[in-house]
Structure 1
Amino acid sequence: MFASHHAPSGASRPPGAAAAFECRYQAGSADWIGGPGLALVAGFEGITRIRTAEGQWSLAAGQVHVVEGPLVVFADRGDRPAWGVVAGTAAEWGTALGELGIPAARRFVPPGEYRLEPVQLDRLRALCLLAGRVSTHRALGILDDFGRWHRAVLEQIDRCPGRSLGQRRRVHARLQRARNLLRARCTQGYPTRHAASVVGYTVGHFQRIFHRVFGETVQGFVLRQRLEVARHLLETSQLSVGDVGLAAGFESRWAFARQFRHRFGATAGAFRRNALACADATAQRPPPGSAPAAPRTAARVPNVSRYPDDARLPAA
């Protein structure tokens, strides 16, 4: 387990304290441990990793997940990470949703994947950069379209089976746990069977409900996760292209090559060459505001052609 740099989000508040979120922005390999509340975790750059009771999975740049604690958010320095967290108790999230005018019965934030446009991601980064306790009112002043994110996940709950909202919420929570398991175990064989058994469904029933709620098949979701793992390995590892496909869970190099090209529009080898070229260009670029480097003069090399092969070169 990792050392904590943060008091758990579920810690008690002083009586009468205003509802507020705990905001954190991190560029680098430090970690964050969240308590039993809800944490909105955003990947801004590189690869961020999340660990929960269901397992561990990666969050790519531009992805945002709401995760129910306890959890650990961390990253390796080699992944060039930058990530942010907005955490609060269920009551604090409920207060925020009440300020948006959402009916009392729907003042909850379901765990799940939230899809953000670039401008929304920039606003979320600005909120995380405030770093500390931020009032729910001020937070929503920055995330002025959070209600739209919220409605998108509530629509998933409405598609879940159940006679009441409470029943549908419980089904959605079970499906979300299964989804996290699929993410964490996507490179292993038969993750669908394992995820279905954990949430108490038969494989066929699980596949039907998953497709109905999330709008994609279980197989399509697992394939998407495997391709993201492969993309990360191509950018950061020394494995051959064929071994990357096998490490990402594909049964053959041919199947990996076909699916990767279909998904990203380029072969895996071309993708790796382009990623390495971009990384080299970024490494050679001087930091903003730095003085231009002085022109380098060529060092003088003595003309050794007139010396015998066994003669010593003149001392510099």
Structure 2
Amino acid sequence: MPDTFVTMHDAPRLSPYATGLVTLPVRYAAVCRSERVRAPAPMLSFWLQVRGTAQVNAAEGAFTLRPGEWIALERGSMPEVQADEHGLTLGVMLTADVMHGALDPTDRGLLVGRGCVSPHDRRIALRLWRQGASVPQDAGAGATMRALKPLLKHWQAAQDSLAEMIERCPGRSFHRKTRIFSRVQKARLCLEGNPQRMLRIEDLMELTRFSSWWLSKTFHAVYQETLQKASMRLRMQRARQLLQDSQLSITELAEACGFHDPCSFARQFKAWHGETASSWRARHQPGAMATESGDSGPMSAAR
């Protein structure tokens, strides 16, 4: 299926089909009915799930958006967003110059990350998105920027919890702190988008262009937990989801969470939850069998 873009002219119909590109580097997208869209490499993007679910596959990893959830990604991420058959995902793709040009000089701009908004804020975002996307293509840059500003300001407010973390970043100026925060956020998104494997510190160093020491220190200062703990927490979260929603054996589940040694997974799960993976499944998955097919020998420790 080809990539799909919605231009400002198309927006009132919330159609996934394009009729051309606008001259100003701003694109509005409405992804629905199992359609998909890919953001161009030079553009940063912001996506909000209105209804249903959507899968987002980006350079940082794979994410699922549920109603009210949003994700903001930097240029180069090139996310591909695909809604389910009942889903509706709203997006705006733009360059950094356009974003800062539409906002006031004192505004911080949109931050990289994920979050969730209330149903009320979701309705406001939908209304503002429609207003911005309905501006005619020949209306000029001024009209386009004026229509874009309220939506960006609304999404900025949705990121207030992230903005509070910026002050924990090293740096003398707010601009410097914001740049560092953006790079650390990419590492966090990479962890969140790849809970099925244990990322090496070298991978995150390459992504953020920080040294191992600087990355570890800054990550801990911003999020109040170490990289190692954050990685394990996310993998344990994935383990709980798989235990509850799948019929994978404990050995298969361990591999799906990035553990090559099932016994190591068993020890970690019990240390985090105070009970074995099998007993956790028995409590949260009605009718779960007491034993897992395909497990034997050392995995008795997982029970």
Aligned to 2:73: 67
Q: CA deviation at 1:254?
A: 4.7
Which residue is equivalent to 2:45? 39
Q: How far apart, CA to CA, are the structure 1 residues paired with 2:37 and 2:57?
A: 10
Alignment of 1:33-112 (within 5 A): 33-35=38-40, 36-43=42-49, 44-46=51-53, 48-52=55-59, 55-61=60-66, 62-70=68-76, 71-75=78-82, 82-89=87-94, 90-94=96-100, 96-98=102-104, 104-112=105-113
Percent identity of paired positions between Structure 1 and Structure 2: 19
Match of 2:253 among 244, 256, 269: 244
Mapping for residues 120-269 of structure 1, pairs under 5 Å: 120-124=121-125, 132-133=133-134, 145-234=154-243, 237-250=246-259, 251-256=264-269, 259=272, 267-269=280-282
Q: SS of 2:91's equivalent? A: strand
Give deviations 1:258-299, integer Å, cap 9, x for gaps.
Answer: 64689xxx9234434499xxxxxxxxxxxxxxxxxxxxxxxx
Q: Which residue of 1 aligns with 2:114?
A: 113
1:87 Cα deviation from its structure 2 partner: 1.0
Q: Which amino acid is 1:56 matched to?
A: G
- Residue 142 of structure 1: how far off its partner (Å): 7.4
Give the counterpart letter for 1:58 in structure 2: F
**Shift of the alpha carbon at 1:115?**
4.0
Moved more, 162-171 or 126-135: 126-135
Is the counterpart of residue 24 in structure 1 residue 25 in structure 2? Answer: no
TM-score of the superposition, structure 1-length normalised? 0.62
Give the Cα–Cα distance (whole angstroms) in 1 for the partners of residues 156 and 130 of structure 2: 21
Question: In structure 2, what is the equivalent of residue 4 of structure 1?
Answer: 3
Tell me, in whole angstroms, the C-alpha distance in 1 between the residues paired with 2:7 and 2:75. Answer: 9
Report if the CA contact (8 A) 2:7-2:27 is conserved. Answer: no
Aligned length: 257
Letter in 2 for 1:168: K
CA distance in 2, matches of 1:200, 1:188: 21
- Structure 2 CA distance, aligned partners of 1:27 and 1:274? 34
Query: Considering only aligned residues, what root-mean-square deviation do their CA atoms show, in Å?
Result: 4.1
Q: Which has the larger radius of gyration?
A: 1
Q: Residues 174 and 142 (structure 1 numbering): CA distance in 2 closer, same or farther, change over 3 Å?
A: closer
In structure 1, how many angstroms separate the alpha carbons of the residues matched to 2:207 and 2:26?
Answer: 35
Residue identity matched to 2:166: I
> Which residue is 2:296 aligned to?
none
Uncovered stretches (5+) of structure 2, i.e. residues with no partner? 9-19, 136-143, 289-303
Q: Is the partner of 2:172 in helix, strand or coil?
A: coil
CA shift for structure 1 position 160: 1.6
Q: Structure 1 38/141 Cα, relative in aligned 2: closer, same or farther at 3 Å?
A: same
Offset of residue 175 of structure 1: 1.2
